[in-house]
């Protein structure tokens, strides 16, 4: 019975989890060009486009009827509580951010992120309060997809995963590496607390989605080709992340916008 329960929880975790690269920037700016494909769109290798479009349509429909309504309800929660939830979730992913910074040779950033994690985990009450930010320890994002890109691995072809959303072969590999190496996930499974995994991912999904309700609707309603606009935005966003540039690019939307960490 325990084995069956464990498999069910892991399945739910995987289903609720989405591509780590779909989370939006905290400060998203939309311009008219956001609703068009980029000049590099022709360079995107999308050999599975008919299948990808079908999956994209399902994800888009599911977002409209499930996640967006929940995210709108979440925004009615008092702001301090929302901030606490967001800070706590962000703090949980810091160990893997530090690992990826080290793998990419970002020693200084790894030291700062380690300090951020220690400060927020202690003085910040397990991350509920972002004390480190007030100390000048800025939050940085690094993941295994970025690490693989830094090591010279190419994108591979574009994929739209059911529920997981926009991805490519390299970033999907990074997502799998994140899942198998996340210490929080490993601890929950080892202690028989698998229910924490889908709870964590679902909470993160709602939190992330609530930040980009207006931006996503603008992109969805104003794009000539929503699929192509999301695909283009995905690659622009990933390039900015890999190059460590501070571009405010509207991020593509999967069914659930969530950081899979």
Question: Taking Cα atoms as reference points, which of 162, 215, 115 lies closest to residue 15?
Answer: 162
**pLDDT given at position 63:** 94
Across 13-17, 125-129, 195-199, 214-218, least confident range:
13-17
Angle (CA) 51-55-58 rounded to 5° is 145
Sign of CA dihedral 155, 156, 160, 163: negative
Average pLDDT rounded to a whole number, residues 61-86 = 94
Average pLDDT, the chain: 83
Average pLDDT rounded to a whole number, residues 70-81 = 95
Across 192-196, 215-219, 249-253, least confident range:
249-253
Higher model confidence: residue 64 or residue 30? 64
Across 27-31, 61-65, 149-153, 197-201, least confident range:
27-31
Average pLDDT rounded to a whole number, residues 187-199 = 89
Residue 73 pLDDT grade (very low, low, confident, very high; cuts 50, 70, 90): very high
Q: Are 28 and 129 in contact (CB under 8 A)?
A: no
* Spatial separation of the C-alpha atoms in residues 134 and 123, rounded to whole Å: 12
* Spatial separation of the C-alpha atoms in residues 24 and 198, rounded to whole Å: 20
pLDDT at 238 > cutoff 80: yes
Task: Judge residue 181's burial from the number of C-beta atoms within 10 Å of its C-beta, 0-12 exposed, 13-18 middle, 19 or more buried.
Answer: middle
Q: Are 126 and 218 in contact (CB under 8 A)?
A: no
**pLDDT given at position 40:** 55
Q: For a pLDDT cut of 70, what percent of the chain falls above it? A: 78
Please report which residue ranges of the chain form alpha helices under DSSP H. Answer: 2-16, 49-62, 68-74, 79-92, 94-103, 107-122, 131-134, 144-150, 169-181, 183-190, 196-210, 213-222, 226-243
* Spatial separation of the C-alpha atoms in residues 212 and 215, rounded to whole Å: 5
Across 150-159, 162-171, 249-258, least confident range:
249-258
CA 203 to each of CA 25, 113, 146, 186, 198: distance values in angstroms, whole numbers, following the listed order: 17, 23, 24, 18, 8
Task: Judge residue 118's burial from the number of C-beta atoms within 10 Å of its C-beta, 0-12 exposed, 13-18 middle, 19 or more buried.
Answer: middle
Across 20-29, 144-153, 158-167, 217-226, least confident range:
20-29
pTM exceeds 0.85 for this model = no
Residue 246 pLDDT grade (very low, low, confident, very high; cuts 50, 70, 90): low
Q: Are 177 and 151 in contact (CB under 8 A)?
A: no
**pLDDT given at position 22:** 39
Q: Are 190 and 10 in contact (CB under 8 A)?
A: no
Strand partners, 159: 167
Return left, alpha or beta for 190; rule: phi > 0 is left, psi -120 to 50 is alpha, else beta.
alpha
* Spatial separation of the C-alpha atoms in residues 184 and 125, rounded to whole Å: 17
Average pLDDT rounded to a whole number, residues 209-222 = 93
**pLDDT given at position 146:** 97
* Spatial separation of the C-alpha atoms in residues 242 and 261, rounded to whole Å: 17
**pLDDT given at position 2:** 54
Average pLDDT rounded to a whole number, residues 178-183 = 91
**pLDDT given at position 34:** 43
**pLDDT given at position 256:** 41
pLDDT tens across 107-119, in order? 999 999 999 999 9
């Amino acid at each position: 019975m325990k084995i069956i329960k464990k498999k069910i929880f892991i399945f739910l975790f995987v289903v609720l989890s989405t591509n780590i690269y779909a989370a939006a920037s905290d400060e998203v700016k939309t311009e008219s060009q956001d609703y068009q494909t980029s000049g590099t769109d022709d360079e995107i290798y999308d050999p599975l486009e008919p299948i990808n479009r079908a999956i994209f349509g399902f994800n888009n429909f599911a977002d409209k009827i499930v996640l967006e309504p929940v995210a709108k309800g979440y925004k009615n929660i008092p702001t301090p509580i929302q901030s606490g939830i967001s800070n706590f979730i962000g703090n949980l992913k810091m160990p893997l951010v530090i690992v990826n910074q080290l793998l990419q040779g970002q020693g200084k950033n790894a030291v700062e992120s380690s300090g951020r994690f220690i400060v927020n985990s202690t003085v910040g009450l397990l991350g509920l309060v972002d004390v480190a930010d007030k100390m000048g320890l800025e939050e940085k994002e690094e993941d295994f997809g970025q690490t693989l890109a830094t090591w010279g691995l190419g994108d591979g072809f574009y994929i739209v995963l059911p529920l997981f959303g926009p991805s490519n072969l390299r970033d999907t590999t990074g997502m799998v590496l994140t899942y198998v190496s996340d210490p929080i996930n490993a601890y929950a499974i080892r202690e028989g607390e698998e229910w924490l995994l889908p709870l964590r991912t679902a909470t993160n999904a709602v939190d992330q989605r609530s930040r980009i309700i207006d931006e996503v609707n603008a992109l969805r309603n104003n794009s000539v080709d929503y699929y192509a606009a999301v695909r283009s935005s995905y690659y622009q966003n990933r390039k900015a992340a890999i190059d460590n540039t501070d571009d405010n690019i509207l991020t593509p939307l999967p069914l659930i916008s969530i950081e899979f960490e």
